[in-house]
Amino acid sequence: EPEVTQTPSHQVTQMGQEVILRCVPISNHLYFYWYRQILGQKVEFLVSFYNNEISEKSEIFDDQFSVERPDGSNFTLKIRSTKLEDSAMYFCASSELGGRAANTGELFFGEGSRLTVL
């Protein structure tokens, strides 16, 4: 069964360092997302990406964050200068159709990348 894959599964970094989290969405999917979950809390939307550009981003997704799809298969989230409060599980998700479509637009989530900022 096709799945969304994420690397690394766990990354530990020092505050102020740059981090890149990688995702390989399901191959025929067109919409890509990053969500994050601080330990024990709810899942929060960060950004959605379609047609090689950001379609929506949340207040959390400030100038320290960026996304790109460098090679048509990977979808990356970069945090330029990590802060302690960036420690969280980051989930990549993809959908065949966006939520606005008549079909389900169901999101499929990856296993997550746990980021620990020291």
Partner 1 sequence: ELKVEQNPLFLSMQEGKNYTIYCNYSTTSDRLYWYRQDPGKSLESLFVLLSNGAVKQEGRLMASLDTKARLSTLHITAAVHDLSATYFCAVESQGGSEKLVFGKGTKLTVNP
Chain residues binding partner 1 by CB under 8 A are 31, 33, 35, 41-45, 48, 55-56, 58, 91, 98-100, 104-112
Q: Which is nearer to partner 1, 61 or 79 (CB)?
A: 61
Helix (H/G/I), strand (E/B), else coil: 3: coil
State the Cα–Cα distance between residues 113 and 11, nearest whole angstrom. Answer: 7
Q: Which is nearer to partner 1, 14 or 90 (CB)?
A: 90
Please report how close the Cβ of residue 16 comes to partner 1 at its closest, in angstroms: 27
Residue in 39, 3, 40 with CA at minimum distance from that of residue 114 = 39
